[in-house]
Amino acid sequence: VYRFQVLTALMLSSQTKDAVVGETMRILQGHGLTVENIHQTDHEVLNGLIRKVGFHNNKTKYIKESAEIIMSNYNGDIPPNADELMKLPGVGPKMAYIVENIAFDTASGIGVDTHMHRMFNDLKWVTSKTPEQTREQLEGWLPRDKWASINYIWVGFGQEVQQQKEKMLKKCVASSSPREALALVKKLGLDVKKEAKRFGLEDDVKSVM
């Protein structure tokens, strides 16, 4: 049940805010979020339950079809690795590697989303045109024991840089290497001078530069 719920949460998450995914998952869990129950749930009912997520019509179709495949081909459990997960409708490499890591505690690849793709190009860690190219280049040099954690660290970090600028500036100033931290967020598009002024942190920032 847990593994199917992990897969469902990831399928709901594309083009949708985390809070909406969380709310929708609670609605589904109240309905009964098991492979068997979703398999038996009418298409229109499921679509109504997940109506707040982006592209809910497509996601309803993918979740229903995946439940059918899981019941028929995998004895009611989700596919056991990323390659098999990618055979499910609507599941690409990013989603497959993240599900594999959370559900089975293994990492055969790195889950790279559009935000990570942009950040790693901004930092010149990769030179790529697509998230898939970014994944391939990262896997070429990043030690394998770091593959599982890089998505969690950088997705959360990127969200803070974009959405919680005051909090991020305060964290940088309070860090063990404030100058380097501020240089890093600057490379990722945070206008340190402008935001420091906006939040009354100019003196704090100046004191560590």
Known catalytic residues?
A: 94
* d(C-alpha 138, C-alpha 121), whole Å: 11
Residue 146 DSSP one-character state: G
Cα distance between residue 36 and residue 165, in whole Å: 44
Q: How far apart are CA 188 and CA 174, in angstroms?
A: 19
d(CA 78, CA 193): 48
What is the DSSP annotation of 147-172?
HHHHHHHHHHHHHHHHH-HHHHHHHH
